[in-house]
Amino acid sequence: MRVGLATLDVLEEERLGERATRLGELLREQLRAALAGYEMFGEVRGMGMLSGIEFRAPQSLALRMSFEAFARIHPGLFGQMLVMRLFREQKMLTQICGNHFMVLKVAPPLVVTEEQIERFVAAVRSEVETIHSSRTFWTDALGLARRAISI
């Protein structure tokens, strides 16, 4: 009980609730600005420090063919590939949002800094750029699917 009360004291004294509201809005604004030009980006929504980046199926033929092929293998392959690449290439730990495989969950700690938010936004933008402009993402996804089928 003492630990719980001490935690509540820290939350109140350091105004972490207000900070979470302010930095969460900053995070969502930066993500919207960084991802606005990409066709697979849907929207960013959230509250406090918990946010979700929603992606959508692409409209352009080149991206749509790859996307639909992987969606047939497994509907969660796109989200898992994004999570895997963010971790492997950018050293960012994320996850998809429950059973909604096209939403990337973003839940930084309450003590995150503005610099760390900027770094995260740049990492996500970099991976979304790779999805839209390089075969690397889709080739990696095919390799993952091959390994999964072989198991």
pLDDT at 93: 93
Q: Specify whether the CB–CB gap between 127 and 120 falls below 8 A.
A: no
CA-based torsion, 51, 108, 113, 137: positive or negative: negative
CATH number of the structural domain spanning residue 68: 3.90.1150.10
pLDDT at 126: 96
Task: State both tokens at 13.
Answer: 């004294």
**What's the pTM value of the predicted model, to 2 decimals?**
0.85
Of all helices (H) and strands (E), which one includes residue 23? helix 16-35
Range of the domain at 6: 2-150
Alpha carbon separation from 101 to 24, 29, 65, 84, 117 (Å, rounded): 22, 22, 18, 13, 23
pLDDT at 32: 98
Domain count, the chain: 1
pLDDT at 151: 59
Q: Specify whether the CB–CB gap between 120 and 141 falls below 8 A.
A: no
Residues of the chain with pLDDT under 50: none
